[in-house]
Amino acid sequence: MKKERTRTLTRTVTLSDRTCPICRKRFEGWGKQQFCSKLCSNKAAYARHAEAYRAHRREKYHAEKKVAAGKK
């Protein structure tokens, strides 16, 4: 027979005023947090790798066109 025990953990973190580099919104962040939301984090990731994303999408587009041309 297994025994179950409930534990409660309380952590205290220090928040500091920060400004999101993407939308310039002020927010309270902790640790290494840079962005105010996941949306801004995703926008920054896209901006860092924009050319690679575009190249991949271009290759996919041309491959789809090639397949479509072969079906005619």
pLDDT of 71 above 80: no
What does DSSP assign to residue 50? H
Q: What is the pLDDT of residues 17-42, one digit of tens each?
A: 999 999 999 999 998 999 999 999 99
Contact of 18 with 40, CB cutoff 8 Å: no
Q: Which residues pair with 26 in a beta bridge?
A: 19
Confidence of residue 13 (pLDDT cuts 50, 70, 90): confident
pLDDT score at 72: 61
Which secondary-structure segment (H or E) carries 14?
A: none
Tokens of 45: 């990731």
- Judged against a pLDDT cut of 70, whether residue 59 lies above it is answered with yes
Residue 1 has pLDDT above 90, yes or no: no
